[in-house]
Amino acid sequence: MTFIQQQRDTRSGRRALVAGSVGNLIEWYEFGVYGYFATIIAARFFTPEGGSAAEALVKTYASFALAFFFRPVGAALFGRLGDRIGRRPVLVLVITLMTVATTLIGALPTYAQAGALAPWLLTFLRVLQGLSAGGEFGGAVSVMTEFAPPGRRGLYGSLQSFTVALGLLAGAGAAALLATVLTAEQLGAWGWRLPFLLTLPLGLGALWLRLRLDETPAFVAQRSEETPAPREVVRAVVLGAGRIMGWAAAGYTFLVVLPSYLQSSLGATFQQALVASVLANLGFAAAIVPAGLLSDRLGRRSVMVSGAVLVVVLAVPLLNLLQQPGVSNTVKGAAVCGAGAVVGLLAGPGPAMLSEMFPTRVRCTGLGLAYALSNAVFSGCAGLIITETIERTGSMDVPAYYAAAACAVSVPALLTLPSPRRAGVPKTGVERAG
């Protein structure tokens, strides 16, 4: 390889990292904003005259969950396109759809203005977001890991997860800023719309970056690659979903659902809940890239199993700590920051792990479906399950049990990961070790 070719490949790889991750940042910014403003959205869209606040919050999370259940549809649709016509056109299409749907949420009429039509319009836009998000992950991770140099897929893939943290932090920052500069009345009346409308310029910038993106070398070279049997792909999708179910459940429980839980169950103010969310996401962000790097050296299995086991052990004690009124805010802040860091151990190696499970011909579809299915069940339903279960049982420990149980089930699936450091490991299904 000539020096000029090396320079060209380096520039293409860097461009792929930026273009692949920026759409993911916007996606999770919006999902974070929706979670942080869940109580306000509930009051504006799901509370007709005589409805209770708890009932409205459950309906808000039901709309939240519905978007996640359309992710597998989007993963199958856009993933198939990405595997047939290329990663670049699909990434352009999904960022356009996400930007339009998210911006329109900021312009929707409320229940008071449009009656029963308002929640249906919101739900329709959430469905469009779910479709685009389903295609986003498979395409972005394929681009980032297929441009990665040998032995650096963990690092390149971890940057996709890192933008999840950045997106959630950006959403929390926007919500915290608005809560500081606006009164509660202004925030509820029109201030909540601003973070959604901000998606328009962000999305246009992401679209420009993706239009300049090169197609991945792996996709260009995969013409001679044998297509795996459908049964092998399905098996790998199910196994992949099982491997990341703990990541999905713990991530959404600690990083997105936590603010509404603190407000509705522990009586925290909106500002206090946002501070807790910011601290959790800071811990999450700080751990992701080191975890990805570590997985390139020690293997995905060691790092991800450690993260899952730590969630199982620490989830209940952490929540009990937050429930104690005598514990200082400094200690509580350190606890939620640590919880985020533990989730980062799962999220850092996760994208590379999924990418390595599928050959190029089915990578977009396979890893996108595995991620979307797991997130539909264990992330999208987290707020709904936790809120409804607390309402019915009165138990304040439900979020911890939910995250710990999902991680406990995920551990056996993670233990089937091949070790790239051990010679002679047989390939499992379509999975590629290393």
Residue 3 has pLDDT above 60, yes or no: no
Query: Which tokens in the block code for residue 197?
Result: 């409308």
Beta carbons within 8 Å of 367's beta carbon, 6+ residues apart? 137, 138, 141, 142, 240, 351, 354, 355, 357, 358
- Residue 1 is assigned to a structural domain of this protein: no
CATH of residue 398's domain is 1.20.1250.20
- Residue 249 is assigned to a structural domain of this protein: yes
CA end-to-end span of the chain, whole Å?
A: 23
- Residue 420 is assigned to a structural domain of this protein: no
- Residue 433 is assigned to a structural domain of this protein: no
Residue 429 has pLDDT above 70, yes or no: no
Q: How many domains are contained in the chain? A: 1
pLDDT band for 46, please (50, 70, 90 cuts).
confident
Q: Give CA–CA dist 20/400, Å, rounded.
A: 33
Question: Contact, 400 vs 316, CB < 8 A?
Answer: yes
- Residue 233 is assigned to a structural domain of this protein: yes
Length of the chain: 434
pLDDT band for 129, please (50, 70, 90 cuts).
confident
The whole-number pLDDT of residue 57 equals 65
Average pLDDT, the chain: 84
The answer to which of 97-111, 180-194, 269-283, 415-429 has the lowest mean pLDDT is: 415-429
Q: What is the mean pLDDT of residues 16-38?
A: 81
Q: Give CA–CA dist 263/402, Å, rounded.
A: 19
* Type of residue numbered 254: F
- Residue 213 is assigned to a structural domain of this protein: yes
- Residue 203 is assigned to a structural domain of this protein: yes
DSSP symbols for 64-94: HHHHHHTHHHHHHHHHHHHHHH-HHHHHHHH
342-353 core/surface letters (b: 16 or more CB in 10 A; e: else): bbbbbbbbbbbb
DSSP symbols for 278-322: HHHHHHHHHHHHHHHHHHHHH-HHHHHHHHHHHHHHHHHHHHHHH
The whole-number pLDDT of residue 201 equals 93
Q: What range defines the domain where residue 271 resides?
A: 10-217+228-414
Q: Give CA–CA dist 32/167, Å, rounded.
A: 7
Residue 191 has pLDDT above 60, yes or no: yes
The whole-number pLDDT of residue 426 equals 36
pLDDT in tens, 331-380: 888 888 999 999 999 999 999 999 999 999 999 999 999 999 998 888 87
